[in-house]
Amino acid sequence: MAISININGEQRDVDAEPGTPLLWVIRDELKLTGTKFGCGVASCGACTVHLNGEPVRSCQTYIEDVEDAEITTIEKMAEDRVGAAVQQAWLELDVVQCGYCQSGQIMSAVGLLRENAKPTAEDVDEYMYGNACRCATYQRIRAGVLRAAEILEA
């Protein structure tokens, strides 16, 4: 069925059956491949996108539930004040290794910083718990979020 969704500030018509995870519409229909498939069961966070500014797991978010929402993906983060700060911190600290989970890590980090501008290391650990990184870049992710908070404060 035809569904119109608002993604990265654009209204896009997509053809998807109800029950289709937003993830696959984003990746296969819209070819926005920055959002990643990692587990399909909301257990790794690689597919994290923003729904009305809040991080959600797109593999467990269904297309029929997002018709009236604003969807934002990693491809739009450079234009976001918080997103740009997180990306800057990620570059300064070379957080990435394989990089496959990092879109999701950044989307979650932005969600955290919008909610809590001055997080502690413990806050970061708690909020980012669900974003897995098999390369174990965690200590740089933690430092990266704290650095992004500094950048935003400056």
Residue closest to 123 by CA, chosen among 94, 88, 148, 90:
148
Binding residue (CB under 8 A) for other proteins from 48, 58, 72, 137:
137
Q: Is 29 in the site for other proteins (CB under 8 A)?
A: yes
Interface size with other proteins, residues (CB under 8 A): 58
**3-class SS at 17?**
coil
- Residue with Cβ nearer other proteins (117 or 121): 121
Residue closest to 113 by CA, chosen among 138, 89, 137:
89
Q: Is 101 in the site for other proteins (CB under 8 A)?
A: yes
Q: Which residues bind other proteins (CB under 8 A)?
A: 17, 20-21, 24, 27-29, 31-41, 43-44, 46, 73-75, 77-78, 87, 90-91, 94-103, 106, 121, 124-126, 128-129, 131-142
